[in-house]
Amino acid sequence: MRHILVPLYAIIIFLVLWELLVWVNDWPNYKMASPSDIWPAFWKFKFLFFQYGWDTLWRTVVGLFIAVLCGVFLGMIMGFSKVLREAIYPLLVGFNAIPKATVVPIIALMFVGQHDLNTVLIAFMISFFPIAVSVSIGLSTLEPEYRDILRSLGASKSLIFWKIALPKTLPEFFGALKVAVTLAFIGTNLMEIVSPHGRGLGALFDSGKTNSDYPLMFAVLIALALLGIGLYYVVVVLEKIFAGWAERSTD
Amino acid sequence: MSLNVKKDAIIIKDVTHTYKTETGLLPVIKNLTMNIPENGFTAVVGPSGCGKSTLTKLISGLLQPDKGEVYLSGEKITTPRPTVGMAFQNPVLLEWRSIIKNVMLPLEIVPNKLNLQQKEQRAKQLLSLVGLEGFEEKRPSELSGGMRQRASLCRALVHKPKVLILDEPFGALDAFTREDLWKVMHNLRKEEPFTGILITHDLRESIFLADEVIVLSGRPASKQFFVKVPKSKTPKLDSLYTSKSIDMLKTLRKQIEIAQSQQEQNK
Ligand SMILES: Nc1ncnc2c1ncn2[C@@H]1O[C@H](COP(=O)(O)OP(=O)(O)OP(=O)(O)O)[C@@H](O)[C@H]1O
Ligand SMILES: [Mg+2]
C-alpha cells in the first residue's frame, strides 16, 4: 500500500505547489499554465489525445522493437567476433555521435509525407546503440570458464548461447532497454513535431504552438510524461520477470 | 613405461603444445608423458604459468596437442567428451539457477535416459554427500565460497564422468575450509570411484588427496619428478604431520624450486 500512497502524495503535493506558484505570481497561461488549466484543455481535445497518443505509442514501440532486433543482432556479431567488433564499433560510435535532432529534418525530407515510416525510423535510429553495445559487452566479457564448463561436455555453440551467454547478458540488456525506451520516445516526438500534418502527440503539441493554445501544449507534455512512465514501467516489469535474479544477487 | 590401455584411464603420450600469440610462439608443454590408472588420483604441481591449466584443456579435449596423443579409457581424444567432469578455482555457478538446477546442468547436455525426477534425485544425492542438504533451492550468491565450491564439485560429478579434472578447485578458499573439502573429496571418491587429476599449488593438498604427485618442470612443462603416495583407507589430516609426510613435502618443495629456477632461466 505504501508503494502506491507515497508516490501519490508526492504527485498531489507537486500539483498543489505548481498551482500555487502560478497563482502567487499571477502568471498568465501563456507564460505558465497551471494544473487547473490543463484538464479543460485535455477535455476539449480528448479524442485527439487518445488517437494521437496511440500513434505516438505504436510508433515508439515499433521503432524500439526494430532497435531491439538490430541491436541484439549487431551486439551478437560484435560479442562473438573480435574482428567484426573492431570493424563495426567505430562506425557505430560515429553514427551515435551525430545528434539525432540534425537527422530528423533529413529523414523528414527523404521520405516526405510518410509520417509513420519517418517516425519509426528515427525512434529506431536513436535507440539501438545502447542495446548493441550492452549485448556485445555482455557476450564478450563472458568468462571463458563459463564456456568451458559446457564445452568440455561436448555442448554445441548454440547450446552454450542459450544456456549461458543469453541469460548472462539479460541484466545488461534490460539496463540498456530502459535507456533505449526513453530515447525512442524522444525520437518519436522529435519527428512528430517537425513533420507537418504528421499526427501523434508531437503534432498536437505543434498545433498548440501554432494556435497559441498554451494550456494544450502543457496538456500534451503531461500526456507524454504519462505515456513515457507507462513505457518505462513495462520494461521494468519485463526485467523483473526475465532478469529478476540479477537484482537479488546484488542485494 | 607400459601403455596398458585396460589399466590406464588417462594416457598422455609425448604431448607437445605451443600457443601462437601476438609476440610469437610460446611453447607451453614439451614431450610430456604420463598415465593415470583407472580410479587413480594424480596431483600435478609446478611453477605458476608452466602449463598446468593447458594440460587440463588437452585432457578434456578443449585443446588439441600439436604433437602426441591423449587417450581416455583407450580412446584417442580429438573433441570434448561427456565422460569428463571439470571444476575450476572459480566455481562458475549460474546465478539465474538455483543450486540444484546448477548441479543438474550437465544432465541437460550429456545424452542420458534420466527423467526430470531422476535427475533431481541424482543431484540431491550428491548435494547431501557434500553437506549441502537443504540448500537445493538457494541461489549461488546466498552460499559461502566453500559451499559454492562443493556445489561445483557436485556439478562436475553429476553425470558420473569417468574422469574428473580439477584445476586448483580449492585455491581460493581459506585453510580450514580447504581441509574440510579435502575430506569431502575422499568421501566422494569412496562413494563413486572415478579417475582424477588435480592441479594444485598446495603440496600438502597434493599428498593428502593423490596416490601420485607429479612435478612439472618450468615452461615448457615436461615431467620432472614423481612420487607415489601410500594411502590408508581412511586418511587423516594428522598423517600430514608424520616424519614420512614431512620428508615427502621437503622433497617436493626442492623439486618445485628446481623447476622455478629453470623457468626463470628460460625467460
Ligand atoms: N589461450 C592462450 N593463448 C596464449 N597463451 C596462453 C593461453 N593460455 C595460456 N597461455 C600462456 O601459457 C602459459 C601457461 O598457461 P597455463 O594457464 O597453462 O599455466 P598454469 O600452469 O595453469 O598457471 P597457473 O599456475 O598460474 O594457473 C602462460 O604463460 C600463459 O600466459
Ligand atoms: Mg592454471
Is B184 inside any structural domain?
no
Check residue B2 and give its pLDDT.
Answer: 47
Q: Which atom of ligand 1 is nearest to the CA of B201?
A: 25
| Interface check A236 vs B, CB under 8 A | no
Is A2 inside any structural domain?
no
Lowest-confidence pick of A54-58, A233-237, B128-132, B227-231: B227-231
Mutate to test the interface with A, among B75, B95, B102 (most CBs of A within 10 A): B95
The alpha carbon of A160 and the centre of ligand 2 are apart by a number of angstroms equal to 23
Report how far residue B165's alpha carbon sits from residue B162's, in angstroms, rounded to the nearest whole number.
Answer: 10
Strands across the sheet containing B195-199: B84-88, B163-167, B195-199, B41-45, B212-216, B223-228
Residues of B in contact with A249 (CB under 8 A): 95, 139-141
Write the CATH number for A194: 1.10.3720.10
List the single residue in A with minimal CA-CA distance to B166: A149
Tell me, yes or no, if the pTM score tops 0.90.
no
Is A23 inside any structural domain?
no
pLDDT value at B233 more than 80: no
C-alpha cell at B16: 607437445
Report how far residue B205's alpha carbon sits from residue B212's, in angstroms, rounded to the nearest whole number.
Answer: 12
Mutate to test the interface with B, among A149, A240, A242, A245 (most CBs of B within 10 A): A149
Q: Is B52 in the pocket of ligand 1 (CB under 6 A)?
A: yes
Is the alpha carbon torsion for B227, B232, B233, B238 positive or negative?
A: negative
Report how far residue A111's alpha carbon sits from residue A114's, in angstroms, rounded to the nearest whole number.
Answer: 6
Report how far residue B128's alpha carbon sits from residue B135's, in angstroms, rounded to the nearest whole number.
Answer: 9
Domain that holds residue A112: 41-243
Check residue A141 and give its pLDDT.
Answer: 87
B130 in Cβ contact with B143 (< 8 Å):
no
Number of domains in chain A: 1
CA distance A170 to chain B (A): 10
Reported ipTM exceeds the 0.95 cut: no
DSSP bridge pairs for B197: B42, B165
pLDDT value at B1 more than 50: no
pLDDT value at B242 more than 70: yes
**What are the tens digits of pLDDT across the range B62-121?**
999 999 999 999 899 999 999 999 999 999 999 999 999 999 999 999 999 999 999 999
Q: Is B49 in the pocket of ligand 1 (CB under 6 A)?
A: yes
> Higher confidence at residue B7 or residue B158?
B158
Per DSSP, the three-state class of B168 is coil
B40 in Cβ contact with B195 (< 8 Å):
yes
* Residue-by-residue DSSP string for B198-257: EE-S-HHHHHHH-SEEEEEPSSSB-EEEEEE----SS--GGGGGSHHHHHHHHHHHHHHH
Number of domains in chain B: 1
Distances (CA, A) of B22 to B29, B64, B219: 19, 20, 18
Task: Report the relative pairing of strands B212-216 and B223-228 from DSSP bridges.
Answer: antiparallel
**What are the tens digits of pLDDT across the range A106-138?**
988 888 888 899 999 999 999 999 999 999 998
Domain that holds residue B43: 1-80+211-267
DSSP summary character for residue B63: S
The alpha carbon of A203 and the centre of ligand 2 are apart by a number of angstroms equal to 63
Is A231 inside any structural domain?
yes
Residues of A in contact with B82 (CB under 8 A): 153-154
Is A73 inside any structural domain?
yes
B145 in Cβ contact with B67 (< 8 Å):
no
Is B107 inside any structural domain?
no
Is A92 inside any structural domain?
yes
C-alpha cell at B180: 574440510
Q: Which ligand is closest to the CA of B51, given by its number?
A: 1
Report how far residue B91's alpha carbon sits from residue B254's, in angstroms, rounded to the nearest whole number.
Answer: 31
Check residue B5 and give its pLDDT.
Answer: 47
Is the alpha carbon torsion for B218, B223, B225, B228 positive or negative?
A: positive
Helices A214-249 and A35-44 meet at what angle, rounded to 10?
A: 100
Nearest to A146 among B57, B60, B92 (CB): B92
**What are the tens digits of pLDDT across the range A179-194?**
999 999 999 999 999 8
Task: Report the relative pairing of strands B67-72 and B41-45 from DSSP bridges.
Answer: unpaired
Contacts of A21 (CB under 8 A, 6+ apart): A32
A27 in Cβ contact with A214 (< 8 Å):
no
Which of the four pLDDT bands, split at 50, 70 and 90, describes residue A236?
A: very high
pLDDT value at A248 more than 70: no
Instruction: Scan for cell 555521435, then name that residue.
Output: A97
The alpha carbon of A241 and the centre of ligand 2 are apart by a number of angstroms equal to 38
Mean pLDDT of the region A211-234: 91
Task: Report the relative pairing of strands B195-199 and B41-45 from DSSP bridges.
Answer: parallel
Strands across the sheet containing B75-76: B24-37, B8-21, B67-72, B75-76
Mean pLDDT of chain B: 92
CA distance A223 to chain B (A): 37
Q: How many Å is the maximal CA-CA distance in chain A?
A: 75
Report how far residue A192's alpha carbon sits from residue A205's, in angstroms, rounded to the nearest whole number.
Answer: 9
pLDDT value at A158 more than 70: yes
Per DSSP, the three-state class of A201 is helix
Which of the four pLDDT bands, split at 50, 70 and 90, describes residue B131?
A: very high
Residues of B in contact with A154 (CB under 8 A): 79-82, 109-110
Write the CATH number for B21: 3.40.50
Mean pLDDT of the region A226-244: 92
DSSP bridge pairs for A206: none
Is A119 inside any structural domain?
yes
Please state the φ and ψ torsions of residue B93, each to the nearest 5 degrees. Answer: -85, 150
Mean pLDDT of chain A: 90
Mean pLDDT of the region A208-224: 90
Per DSSP, the three-state class of B30 is strand
Which of the four pLDDT bands, split at 50, 70 and 90, describes residue A3?
A: confident
Distances (CA, A) of B177 to B20, B144, B184, B190: 38, 10, 11, 20
DSSP summary character for residue B29: E
Is B35 inside any structural domain?
yes
Mean pLDDT of the region B154-178: 94
Lowest-confidence pick of A51-55, A80-84, B61-65: A80-84
Report how far residue B238's alpha carbon sits from residue B224's, in angstroms, rounded to the nearest whole number.
Answer: 29
DSSP summary character for residue B106: G
DSSP summary character for residue B154: H
Is A101 inside any structural domain?
yes
Check residue A244 and give its pLDDT.
Answer: 86
B34 in Cβ contact with B227 (< 8 Å):
no
Query: What letter represents residue A197's amino acid?
Result: H
The pLDDT > 70 percentage for chain B reads 98
Instruction: Scan for cell 505548481, then name that residue.
Output: A18
Report how far residue A8's alpha carbon sits from residue B25's, in angstroms, rounded to the nearest whole number.
Answer: 67
C-alpha cell at B138: 538457494
